[in-house]
Structure 1
Amino acid sequence: MKKNAEIPECIQKCGVEYAFKRIGGKYKGRILWHLGMRPVLRYGELSRTLPDITTKMLTQTLRELEENKLIIRKMYHEVPPKVEYSLSETGLELMPFIEHLHNWGKKQLEKEG
Structure 2
Amino acid sequence: MVLELISGLGRTVFKLFQHPSLAIVKAAGLIMKAIIEEGTPEMAKKMQDLALAEGALPRHLHTSLFTASSDNRLLTHRQLSRHLVGRWVTGNPTANALLHRVVPLGLMQYLKSNEKVPEEADRMHVRDN
Normalising by the residue count of structure 2, what TM-score does the alignment of the two structures yield?
Answer: 0.28
More strand by share: 1
When you count helix as a share of all residues, which structure comes out higher?
A: 2
